[in-house]
Amino acid sequence: MSCSFGKKFRLTVFGQSHSKAIGAVIDGIPAGVRLDEEKIKALLSRRAPGKNAYSTKRREADEYEILSGTVDGMTCGAPLCAVIYNTDARSGDYEKLKTLPRPSHSDYAAYIKHHGFNDVRGGGNFSGRMTAPLCFAGAVAMQILESRGIYIGAHIKSIAGIEDRAFSPVDVSAAELENVKKKDFPVLDDEAGERMKAEIEKARAELDSVGGVIECAVTGLPAGIGEPMFDGVENVVSRAVFAVPAVKGIEFGLGFASSELRGSENNDPFTVSDGRVLTETNNSGGILGGITSGMPVIFRAAVKPTPSVGIEQGTVNLETNSPARLVTGGRHDPCIVPRAVPCIEAAAALAIINLM
Amino acid sequence: MSCSFGKKFRLTVFGQSHSKAIGAVIDGIPAGVRLDEEKIKALLSRRAPGKNAYSTKRREADEYEILSGTVDGMTCGAPLCAVIYNTDARSGDYEKLKTLPRPSHSDYAAYIKHHGFNDVRGGGNFSGRMTAPLCFAGAVAMQILESRGIYIGAHIKSIAGIEDRAFSPVDVSAAELENVKKKDFPVLDDEAGERMKAEIEKARAELDSVGGVIECAVTGLPAGIGEPMFDGVENVVSRAVFAVPAVKGIEFGLGFASSELRGSENNDPFTVSDGRVLTETNNSGGILGGITSGMPVIFRAAVKPTPSVGIEQGTVNLETNSPARLVTGGRHDPCIVPRAVPCIEAAAALAIINLM
Amino acid sequence: MSCSFGKKFRLTVFGQSHSKAIGAVIDGIPAGVRLDEEKIKALLSRRAPGKNAYSTKRREADEYEILSGTVDGMTCGAPLCAVIYNTDARSGDYEKLKTLPRPSHSDYAAYIKHHGFNDVRGGGNFSGRMTAPLCFAGAVAMQILESRGIYIGAHIKSIAGIEDRAFSPVDVSAAELENVKKKDFPVLDDEAGERMKAEIEKARAELDSVGGVIECAVTGLPAGIGEPMFDGVENVVSRAVFAVPAVKGIEFGLGFASSELRGSENNDPFTVSDGRVLTETNNSGGILGGITSGMPVIFRAAVKPTPSVGIEQGTVNLETNSPARLVTGGRHDPCIVPRAVPCIEAAAALAIINLM
Amino acid sequence: MSCSFGKKFRLTVFGQSHSKAIGAVIDGIPAGVRLDEEKIKALLSRRAPGKNAYSTKRREADEYEILSGTVDGMTCGAPLCAVIYNTDARSGDYEKLKTLPRPSHSDYAAYIKHHGFNDVRGGGNFSGRMTAPLCFAGAVAMQILESRGIYIGAHIKSIAGIEDRAFSPVDVSAAELENVKKKDFPVLDDEAGERMKAEIEKARAELDSVGGVIECAVTGLPAGIGEPMFDGVENVVSRAVFAVPAVKGIEFGLGFASSELRGSENNDPFTVSDGRVLTETNNSGGILGGITSGMPVIFRAAVKPTPSVGIEQGTVNLETNSPARLVTGGRHDPCIVPRAVPCIEAAAALAIINLM
C-alpha cells in the first residue's frame, strides 16, 4: 500500500474502517499557522455520513483529535498528526465478505493482494471512511492556500445524467465557490438539485444506487505553477483525485469534449485586461503544457454509482471457488456523490499545495 | 521541472526540441536482459513524424544511441542511457514565439515559470518530441512485461467524434493488440479509419486541426497489483499518461459513462471459469479499489486538437503587454492522435512496470 | 522537517516531547505478520528512561497502542500506526528555553528554522524521546528480518574512552548479539562495563556528562544487497543512524583506522569455506562497493556527551540578543549511550529492511 | 542500483568505466543561470587522473559536452544533461576479473547482485570514474551556492597517518578554501604535504597503496537549514559522501573525538558578536539537532587505501569456486585521496543545495 502523497506538504494516511482510529500525519506545514478549527470541522461535516435521507444511516461524529504538531493551537514545525476514533462500527455486518467478495468493491482485489489477510470489516483501508483524514489534511491545505488568495470549491455537476450548470471557466469567483459550499446539496441550480435528489431517492427505494460527476475549480492561482513532464498540474491533481474511492475518470478544461473540436475552436486566444494577460476562453482549464496559465483551474471527476446495492448479485465463494449469490447488507449511501464533493476539494488542495 | 517517474523502473527524461540531443536514463532494469532493438525501433517508428500525409513534414530518423547500461547488448545492472540527436531542427521558425505566445501552447506558461529564459525553439522541453525518449523507455518496459505475459496495446478510439469499435473489455487478446499495432493507421474498424483520415485531411486543407480519443488495454496482468491510496493503478497510470502532451482527460473502464448508470447496471458480477475468478462484465476496467482484478485494464485518454493551426489567432505581445495577432508557422501535425497512440502505450508500460 | 524514511518499509514518525502523543506509521509491512509484542516491548524497554542510576529519572512507561494496521494482532496490509502517550511531562521546566538556548542543543537552530514557533518543551520534536517510535518500527523490522535469518545487535564499544572488546568482524554470531541485548549494561566485557559505569557516576556527581561509541553488527545478510551509487549500504545506514540525536560520526569496517593502513594490509582476501565464498578478514565491514559481501555488516557510531549538564554555561538571550548565563534544569541522562544502543539497532534495522 | 540524489536539485548519474559515455542529468536548476564553464573545468581537472606521479597513468581529458538544458550557455529550466565520452579505455586489462574478483573491490558483490551480468571492465559503474559526473554536478551546485555567499572547500587532512593542520572550525574563510583548491597537492601545511607525497611514492614503489582523511568545510550557510529527523544536515551529507567510492567513515565537528569528552568540554557556548549569535567553539561542526547553526559546517571523511595493489593476493575463482591467486594489473592510483578531494566537495555541494 502507498499511503503518502507529496513532498512539500507530505500527507500520510492510516487506518481502516473498523480499526481503533484513522488519521493523518502532515509533514511540511510551516510553523506559526494557527489552525482554523472551524474550517476543518466545516469540511469534515460536509463529508460526514448520516446527515440526511440520501446518505448512509451510519452516524459518526468524525471528531478529530490533534496528537502532535501544535503548541496552543499554532503549528510548531513538527509533523501534525490528527486522529479520528472509530466508534460506530458494527463489524458483524461484514463477516461473510471474507469469502463472498462484493461485486465492484475492493474485496476480491484486496484478498488476492494481501493473501487473505486483508481487513474486510467495512472495506478495511479501502473504505470511503479513509477520506476523512484526507479531508482533514485538505482543510489545513486550503487554509494555507486561502491565506495566499487561492480558493478551491466543487459542486455536483451531474447525478444519473441530470445536469447542473457549470462554473464559468473564465470568471468563477471565490465567493461563488464559498456560496455553494454552504448548501446542504451543493449544486449551482437548485431546481436541478431537486431532480437529482428525487433520482437518488428513487434508486434508494429500489435498493439501487446512482453515480455522478463533480466539477472543481481553483481560483487565484498565479501563472507558472506545475512541474512537467511528470509533475505537471494534470499529473499531480489526477494522482490525488484518484485516491478518492469510486472516481473512474478525470478531465481538465473541456476534456473529452475537446477531442471533438477543431483546434481553432478549442484554442484559447490570449488577451490583455487591466494589464494582465488572460485568455478569452478557458477550454484548457487553466493549464498550458502542464503549467498554470493564471486562469481558473477547472476539472471534473466521474464518480461511479455506489457498488453496495441491496439487489442480489453474482459473486464467487473464495473458499470453494464456486459461484454464489450475495445481497449486501450494512448501511450504505444510495449516492456517494454529495459526500464526495469535499473529498475532491481536499484532493485538489493537497495537489495544489504540493505544486507551489 | 520534474523529469523523473517511478521507483523500481525509474525513468529520467532530458532534452529540448532543438537541444543537441534528447534522451532517457532508466535505473532499475534487471541485469541480463537482452534489449530487443527491433521492438524499440518499431515503437519509435510508430511515433516518428513525416511518415504520411496526416503528420508533420519534419523528418527525424529518431535513431537512438545507447551510451551506457549494457555490455554487448545485454543490460548489466547499470543505468541505461539512450540518446537521440536532434538533426532536423529549423530554429529560425520560432524566433517570434519569444514575445508572441501561441494560444493553447505551453509558451506563455513556460515564459512565466522560467522568467523568460525558457527555450522557445520548437516548444523546448514541452515539445511533443520529448515523447521519443518516453517511447524508448516504454519499449524497454514492454519487452520486460511481455516476458511475463503482459501485453499493452492502444488504438484510435475516435477522431473528431468519428468512432472506432472498442476493445472487448472482457476478452481483448494479446494477438488483437499486436495486430492493430501493425497498421499504419491504428484502428480496429478500417472503414471508420478511412472516414477519420478524410476528416484529418479536411482539417489540414483548412489550416486547422482535430483531436481524438485513444483507448489502451493491458492484458495478462495478475490480480493484486496496485498500491492505493495514492499509488493505485488509476493514480499511477493517470500520472504517467498526462505526461503525454495534449492529453486532457482519462477514464478507466466505463469512466464518465458509469456516472449515468445504476449500481446494479455498473457492477461487475464475479464468476468462475476453468477455476479462475473472473467478472462477467468489466465496467471497472480491470481495477477494483485501485488494484488489478485480473481482468484487462482498459482506459481511454482524450487528446485535444493540435493547438498549432495556420489560422490567424489572438495573442499578446509579452514585451509590450498589448494585444497582437499570430499565424503559427512551422511544420505541424493536423492531428497528433495517430502518433500519440504509441506514446500512450509507453506511458502505460512505464506505469505498469512500476506498479509490479 | 522530514519525518519519513524508506520506500519499501516506509516509516513516518510524529510527535514532540510534550505533545499529546508520539507515534509511528509504517507503510509496506506485508500482510499476515503476527506482531511479536514481547520483542517490541523488550526493545522499547531497553531504550526507556528511569531504569537505573545512570539514566534520567523521568519515568515513562513507553507503552504503545496500535491504532491501525492489524486485525487480531496480525498485519492486514494497511499502514501500521502505533502511538505512545506522553504522560510524565513537566512543561514548566522548560519555559526559559524559549529565550535562552541550551548550548549544543537544537534549541537555537530550531528557533531560527521555525521563526520562534518551535516547541521548546522538552526539546519538542528534537527530543531523544522521538527515538521511541523509531524503536517501535525497528523492532517490527527486526522481527521480519529475523524470520529471514538476519540478526542485528549492538553494544557499547566505549564510554569516555574506556573500551569494550569489539565484535569479531568475521564470525560474530546471532547468539552473541542476543546475549548482549539481555544485559542491563550492554558490553561484551563486563569488567570494562564496571569502569564505564564508574565514569558515568563520576560525571553525574560533577553535574557533567560523558559520551561514547556504539558498535553494531548485522549477521545473516546475503551478499548482493545495496543500491549504489546513492543507496548503497553505507549511504542508507548512515542516513538512518544520524536520525538518532547526539550521533556525530559513523564508520564501517575499519573506518577511520583504515586510512592509516596500506592497501595490502586493509584488503580482505577471498577464501572458500564449505563451498561458500568468504573473506579471511572483514576490514570492509561486510560492504564492497556499497553492496553486502555476505560477511557481517559492522559499523560504529560516535555519540557525543549529553549536552544537558548542570554546570553554568554561556548562552545568549534571543530576545535582547545579549550574552547570558544558563544552568540547565530538568532531568537528564549523564550518559545517553546505554539507551542509544537499541536506537542504533533500530536505525540499522530500518535501513537494512529498506535495502532488501 | 540507485543513481539519483535529491529532490530540489535532482542529480541522476549514468555510465560505466568503459561504456560509450558517462554523464549526469540535473533537474531543478533555476532558469537563467549562466554556466561558469571555467569553474566546472577547474573542478573536473582537480579530479582528473594522469596529472602527476602519485596518480594513475590513465589519461582522460574529462571533457564534457552539454546535451540539453541550456540556450546559448544559459540554463532554460529544462533538465541539464552533460556527458563525458570514454576514450582511453583498455578493456583487455580486465578480462580475468569476471572470474577472479579483486579483494576489497566491488567485483564480487556486483557479480552476485547482477547474477554475473555486471560490467567488469574497469569496475563498470562502480568505478571511481563515476565521480566525474558527480563533480560536474557539484561544480554547477557550487556556482549557485557561491552566488548566495556559500563556499565549499576541502583539503587532505591526513595520508597514512601523516597529519595536515585542520581548518579553523570557527573562522575558516572562503578565501582560505579557494586558496587550497589552487594547490596541486591540497594541504594547508605544505611541509606535511611533502611528507605525505614521499609516503605515497614509497607505497607506489612497493606496489602498494595508502589511504587518508579529507576535511571539508562549508562557510556562509545561514542558520536554520536542515530537515531532521531523517533529512538533517548529517543525514543528507553522509548519504551523499558515501557515494564517493572508498569512503568508509564520516564525522561532523569533533565527531569520534567528542565521544571521549565531558559535556562541559564538548558544548559550544553561545556568544554575540556584532549583533550576530555565534558559538565560541564549534565542536558541533556547525550543526545542532541536524540543523545549521550559522557556524561553518565541518566534516571529515575517511578514505581507505586503494584496493588495487600490485602485490599478489588471495581470491577465489567464481567459476570453479576454488581458491586462487591474483595480481591486479591495470593502471591505478597508489593513493586516491588527492583526487577524492574535489569529489567530497562535490558531494557536499549536492547535499547542501538540496537542503536549502
Question: Which residues are bridge partners to C315 per DSSP?
Answer: C324
Contact between chains at C117 and A83 (C-beta distance less than 8 A):
no
**CA-based nearest distance B100→chain A, Å:** 10
Residue C297 has pLDDT above 90, yes or no: yes
Assess D113–B contact: CB distance below 8 Å, yes or no: yes
Q: Quote the CA–CA distance of D136 and C158 in Å, as a whole number.
A: 41
Out of A227, A289, A302, name the one closest to residue B251 (CB).
A302
Predicted local distance difference test score (pLDDT) of residue A53: 58
Q: Which of A75-89, A91-105, D38-52, D310-324 has the lowest mean pLDDT?
A: A91-105
Assess A31–B contact: CB distance below 8 Å, yes or no: no
Contact A284, A293 (CB under 8 A): yes
Q: Cβ contacts (< 8 Å) between D9 and chain B: which residues?
A: none
Residue C120 has pLDDT above 70, yes or no: yes
Q: Cβ contacts (< 8 Å) between D322 and chain C: which residues?
A: 272
Could you read off the pLDDT of D118-177 as tens digits, one per residue?
Answer: 999 888 999 999 999 999 999 999 999 999 999 999 999 999 999 999 999 999 999 999
Residue C158 has pLDDT above 80, yes or no: yes
Out of C245, C255, C323, name the one closest to residue D302 (CB).
C255
ipTM metric: 0.96
3-state secondary structure (DSSP) of residue C218: strand
Chain A: touching chains (3 or more CB pairs < 8 Å): B, C
Predicted local distance difference test score (pLDDT) of residue C111: 95
Q: Cβ contacts (< 8 Å) between C320 and chain D: which residues?
A: none
Across A217-231, B92-106, C44-58, the highest mean pLDDT is recorded for: A217-231
Predicted local distance difference test score (pLDDT) of residue C149: 98
Predicted local distance difference test score (pLDDT) of residue C323: 94
Q: Which of residues 291-330 of B touch A (CB under 8 A)?
A: 291-294, 302-309, 311, 313-316, 318, 321-323
Mutate to test the interface with D, among C8, C56, C229, C336 (most CBs of D within 10 A): C229
Q: Cβ contacts (< 8 Å) between D71 and chain B: which residues?
A: 117, 119, 121
Assess D13–C contact: CB distance below 8 Å, yes or no: yes
What is the maximum span of chain C, computed from C-alpha positions, in angstroms?
Answer: 71
Q: What is the DSSP letter of A83?
A: E
Instruction: Give percent helix, percent strand, percent coil of chain D, each to the nearest 5.
Output: 30, 25, 45
**CA-based nearest distance D85→chain B, Å:** 9
Assess C16–A contact: CB distance below 8 Å, yes or no: yes
Residues with Cβ within 8 Å of residue C304, at least 6 apart in sequence: C104, C211, C246, C247, C248, D254, D258, D259, D261, D263, D266
Out of C303, C316, C322, name the one closest to residue D259 (CB).
C303
Residues with Cβ within 8 Å of residue C255, at least 6 apart in sequence: C285, C299, C300, D248, D249, D302
Residue D96 has pLDDT above 90, yes or no: no
DSSP string, C114-157: TTT-S--GGGGGGSGGGHHHHHHHHHHHHHHHHTTT-EEEEEEE
Q: Chain C residue closest to A130 (CA)? A: C78
Predicted local distance difference test score (pLDDT) of residue B49: 80
Cα angle for residues B123, B307, A347 (degrees, 5° grid): 85
Contact between chains at C67 and A3 (C-beta distance less than 8 A):
no
Contact C2, A25 (CB under 8 A): no
Assess C20–A contact: CB distance below 8 Å, yes or no: yes
**Locus of grid cell 490570449:** A270
> For all residues of chain A together, what is the average pLDDT?
93
Residue B90 has pLDDT above 80, yes or no: no
Q: Cβ contacts (< 8 Å) between D118 and chain B: which residues?
A: 31, 76-77
3-state secondary structure (DSSP) of residue D23: strand
Assess A112–B contact: CB distance below 8 Å, yes or no: yes
Helix ranges (DSSP H) in chain C = 37-47, 107-113, 131-146, 174-181, 190-205, 233-241, 263-266, 337-355
CA distances from A273 to B100, B101, B326 (A): 16, 16, 19
**CA-based nearest distance D227→chain C, Å:** 4
| Residue range(s) defining the domain that contains residue C238 | 4-355
Contact B231, B355 (CB under 8 A): yes
Q: Quote the CA–CA distance of A95 and A102 in Å, as a whole number.
A: 12
Backbone dihedral angles phi then psi of residue A151, each to the nearest 5 degrees: -120, 145
- The rounded percent of chain B whose pLDDT value lies above 90 is 88
**CA-based nearest distance D231→chain B, Å:** 19
Question: Which residues are bridge partners to B302 per DSSP?
Answer: B213, B249
Chain B: touching chains (3 or more CB pairs < 8 Å): A, D
Average pLDDT over residues D47-66: 71
3-state secondary structure (DSSP) of residue B199: helix
Assess D134–B contact: CB distance below 8 Å, yes or no: no
Burial class (CB in 10 A: 0-12, 13-18, 19+), A179: middle
Q: How far apart are the two ends of chain D, measured CA to CA in Å?
A: 26
Q: Quote the CA–CA distance of B345 and B62 in Å, as a whole number.
A: 18
Contact C297, C217 (CB under 8 A): yes
Assess D12–B contact: CB distance below 8 Å, yes or no: yes
3-state secondary structure (DSSP) of residue C325: strand
Residues with Cβ within 8 Å of residue D146, at least 6 apart in sequence: none
Cα angle for residues D54, D57, D61 (degrees, 5° grid): 110
Residue A234 cell numbers, joined: 494534470
pTM score, whole prediction:
0.96
Mutate to test the interface with D, among C11, C125, C135, C230 (most CBs of D within 10 A): C230
Contact between chains at A119 and C71 (C-beta distance less than 8 A):
yes
Residue B57 has pLDDT above 80, yes or no: no
Burial class (CB in 10 A: 0-12, 13-18, 19+), D272: middle
- The rounded percent of chain C whose pLDDT value lies above 90 is 88
Q: Quote the CA–CA distance of B135 and C30 in Å, as a whole number.
A: 34
Neighbour order of strands in the sheet with A4-5: A4-5, A10-14, A21-27, A80-85, A64-68
Could you read off the pLDDT of A78-122 as tens digits, one per residue?
Answer: 999 999 999 865 656 566 778 999 999 999 999 999 999 999 988
Could you read off the pLDDT of C16-58 as tens digits, one per residue?
Answer: 999 999 999 999 999 999 999 999 999 999 998 866 655 555 5
Contact between chains at B125 and D83 (C-beta distance less than 8 A):
no
3-state secondary structure (DSSP) of residue A201: helix
Q: Chain D residue closest to C253 (CA)? A: D248
Q: Burial code of C279-315, b = ≥16 C-beta within 10 A, e = fewer?
A: bebbbbbbbbbbbbbbbbbbbbbbbbbbbbbbeebbb
Residue B94 has pLDDT above 90, yes or no: no
Q: Cβ contacts (< 8 Å) between A78 and chain C: which residues?
A: 1, 14-16, 19, 119, 124-125
Contact between chains at B258 and A211 (C-beta distance less than 8 A):
yes
Average pLDDT over residues A48-55: 67
Residue B52 has pLDDT above 80, yes or no: no
Contact between chains at B31 and D79 (C-beta distance less than 8 A):
no
Please count the structural domains in chain C: 1
Contact C320, C330 (CB under 8 A): no
**CA-based nearest distance C212→chain A, Å:** 29
Assess B47–D contact: CB distance below 8 Å, yes or no: no
**pLDDT grade, residue D49 (50/70/90)?**
confident
Run of H or E including D326: strand D322-326
Out of C126, C160, C229, name the one closest to residue D260 (CB).
C160
**pLDDT grade, residue D342 (50/70/90)?**
very high
Assess B68–D contact: CB distance below 8 Å, yes or no: yes
Question: Which residues are bridge partners to D216 per DSSP?
Answer: D154, D299
Out of A252, A284, A318, name the one closest to residue B249 (CB).
A252
Burial class (CB in 10 A: 0-12, 13-18, 19+), B273: exposed
Contact between chains at A1 and C71 (C-beta distance less than 8 A):
no
Residue of D7, B168, D70, D224 lying closest to C114 (CA atoms): D224
3-state secondary structure (DSSP) of residue D70: strand
Residue C7 has pLDDT above 80, yes or no: yes
Out of A134, A238, A266, name the one closest to residue B104 (CB).
A266
Q: Quote the CA–CA distance of C295 and C303 in Å, as a whole number.
A: 26
Chain C: touching chains (3 or more CB pairs < 8 Å): A, D
Predicted local distance difference test score (pLDDT) of residue D122: 87
Predicted local distance difference test score (pLDDT) of residue A58: 54
**pLDDT grade, residue C96 (50/70/90)?**
confident
Give chain A's count of helices (H) and strands (E): 8, 18
Q: Chain A residue closest to C7 (CA)? A: A2
Could you read off the pLDDT of D242-282 as tens digits, one per residue?
Answer: 999 999 999 999 999 999 999 999 999 999 999 999 999 99
Assess C27–D contact: CB distance below 8 Å, yes or no: no
Mutate to test the interface with C, among D125, D157, D267, D303 (most CBs of C within 10 A): D267
- The conformational region for residue C69 under phi > 0 = left, psi -120 to 50 = alpha, else beta, is left
Q: Cβ contacts (< 8 Å) between D279 and chain C: which residues?
A: 103
Q: Cβ contacts (< 8 Å) between A110 and chain C: which residues?
A: 77
Burial class (CB in 10 A: 0-12, 13-18, 19+), B73: exposed
Q: Quote the CA–CA distance of D75 and C156 in Å, as a whole number.
A: 51
Assess B276–D contact: CB distance below 8 Å, yes or no: no
Q: Which of residues 238-257 of B touch D (CB under 8 A)?
A: none
Instruction: Give percent helix, percent strand, percent coil of chain C, each to the nearest 5.
Output: 30, 25, 45
Residue D57 has pLDDT above 70, yes or no: no
Q: How many CB pairs under 8 A join B and D?
A: 169
Contact B301, B238 (CB under 8 A): no
Average pLDDT over residues B233-248: 98
Q: Cβ contacts (< 8 Å) between A15 and chain C: which residues?
A: 67-68, 78-79, 81
Out of D22, D32, D117, name the one closest to residue B117 (CB).
D32
Q: Chain A residue closest to B160 (CA)? A: A260
Q: Quote the CA–CA distance of B160 and B202 in Å, as a whole number.
A: 11
Identify the CATH number of the domain in which residue C204 sits. 3.60.150.10
Q: Quote the CA–CA distance of D25 and D86 in Å, as a whole number.
A: 17
Q: Cβ contacts (< 8 Å) between A116 and chain C: which residues?
A: 32
